[in-house]
Amino acid sequence: YGILLGLSGDSTQVVAARSASLACLGPAADVPSRDLFPTLGLSVPVQGLSDMAADLSSVLSFDFAPLLTQYQTLNAQAQSSASTFTPTPADATSQVYTCYTWISLAQAPTSTSCDLPTFQANMQTLAQLALQSGQDVSAALGIIRQPQSTWQSTLSDMQALTAHPSLAALQSGMDCAEVFDAWQVANDQACAGLADTFSTSGFVWLLAG
């Protein structure tokens, strides 16, 4: 039966097809569930749709303003204290410090030897870059939250998809339990009919003998 239906082998598709066949028509001892929805591996991707919609909604509704205020406060504190910040120099004898050249927070800095004023200016630059990073995030959120943005339309599509009646129908309509029950009744009737026919024929031949 399996070979004739092309269900021999161990590929992912064949294994899934074999599991689906068993779920619908297999004996109870071999079938943990007759629901094809999880059997065919659909539960995870469908749940992924709901998770993605929730994540998108979270991003688009996130209030970044309080966090940006903290960025601004920290930057102001760093700028005011950088001119008086005097750490232990890398070389105490020559009063040499290690300065870093920051292009952006996304790139590793290069290091050079420097004096204290240069080091303090370097710290101010780093604080300004951190503030700029927060401002960039805030600006990006403003863009993706625009009513006609791709992000908003994607969220609308995801929400419509996860709430669509066809998806619920797909989840509830792939349970083979009723199909199996009907098939079992038909199978029992057919087998009982054959047994009755053969037993009757045998009894007749017995009498004839």
Q: What is the pLDDT of residues 34-50, one digit of tens each?
A: 787 777 777 888 888 88
168 found inside a domain: no
Same domain, 84 and 130: yes
Q: Cβ(64)–Cβ(141) under 8 Å?
A: yes
> How confident is residue 70, by pLDDT bands cut at 50, 70 and 90?
confident
Same domain, 90 and 15: no
Same domain, 68 and 151: yes
Q: Is the pLDDT of residue 67 over 60?
A: yes
Q: Is the pLDDT of residue 86 over 50?
A: yes
Separation CA 3–CA 14 (nearest Å): 11
Please give the residue range of the domain that contains residue 125. Answer: 59-161
Same domain, 7 and 81: no
Same domain, 1 and 88: no
pLDDT at residue number 6: 57
- How many Å is the Cα radius of gyration of the chain? 36
Same domain, 74 and 109: yes
In the structure encoding, which two tokens stand for residue 129, read together? 């870059």
Q: Is the pLDDT of residue 124 over 50?
A: yes
> How confident is residue 207, by pLDDT bands cut at 50, 70 and 90?
very low
197 found inside a domain: no
Q: Please count the CA atoms within 13 angstroms of the CA of 71 that sit on its side-chain side.
A: 17
Average pLDDT over residues 93-110: 78
Same domain, 151 and 63: yes
DSSP code string of 102-142? -S-TTSPPEEEEE-HHHHHHHHHHHHHHHHHHHHHHHHHHH
Same domain, 88 and 19: no
Residue 176: C-alpha distances to residues 10, 11, 35 (Å): 23, 23, 6
112 found inside a domain: yes
Q: Cβ(159)–Cβ(3) under 8 Å?
A: no
Same domain, 64 and 150: yes
Q: Tens digits of per-residue pLDDT, 3-38?
A: 555 556 666 766 777 777 777 777 777 777 778 777
49 found inside a domain: no
- Total count of domains within the chain: 2
Same domain, 93 and 149: yes
- Average model confidence (pLDDT) across the chain: 76
Q: Which of 146, 161, 176 is the last residue of a domain?
A: 161
